[in-house]
Amino acid sequence: MIRVNLLPKDERVHKSAPTQFKAGEFVLPVFLLVATTAVVAGTTVAQRMATTNLEKSIADVESQSRALAPQIERVNRLAQEKAELDLRMGIIGKLQEGRTAGVRVMDELAHCVPEHLWLSTALQDNGTTLNLTGQTFSNLVVSDFMSRLERSSMFSGVTLESAERGEIDGHPVVKFTLHCNITPNEQAN
């Protein structure tokens, strides 16, 4: 049967012949689709493998941590005990240093006392100041005593607080009070 289209040219629907695709036109898009899918699949597989490896590593480290927990606790306890022992040893060391300080101060003081001078009291305040009281027959002996204290490496800052006339058993004497500082670096030697 023959068909005739009587519509004007402008209104005619053109039926075109079925389009035939060539095999070469599909190759490039299909290749790109396959390549993209392969890259995405490869990346996904690589990421899953990396995640699995990391999870295994985390599990191994956690198991090692649990296995070493008693040793870690013991090391921490020993470190704490060592710190406490060091503190105690420091205190003992300070006590050892101060143990002979008083003896050395008194020994040096005895070397500084001239003839015909008698000390009544020797008081050490706060470890650095020495308060001395005594008597003698002359102000010159007090002056000599102060000079000897100043020349000593253990004493410094000798000051006379008072010197007054007195009498002991009918003999005239000079009663004095003086202060001096104990040199800390010499005290520790």
Give me the domain span that covers residue 49: 29-99
Number of domains in the chain: 2
Amino acid identity, position 122? A
What pLDDT does 187 receive? 46
Domain-embedded: residue 2:
no
Cα dihedral angle (57, 63, 66, 72), rounded to 10 degrees?
-50
Shared domain check, 110 and 177: yes
Element containing residue 167 per DSSP (H, E): strand 155-168
| 44 within some domain | yes
Rounded (5°) CA angle 101-102-105 = 85
pLDDT tens for the chain, 189 residues long, are 787 777 777 776 665 656 665 666 777 888 889 999 999 999 999 999 999 999 999 999 999 989 989 999 999 999 999 999 999 999 988 888 777 778 888 899 999 999 999 999 999 887 789 999 999 999 999 999 999 999 999 999 999 999 999 888 888 999 999 999 988 665 444
| Residues 143 and 172 both lie in one domain | yes
Residue 13 lies in a domain: no
pLDDT score of 21: 58
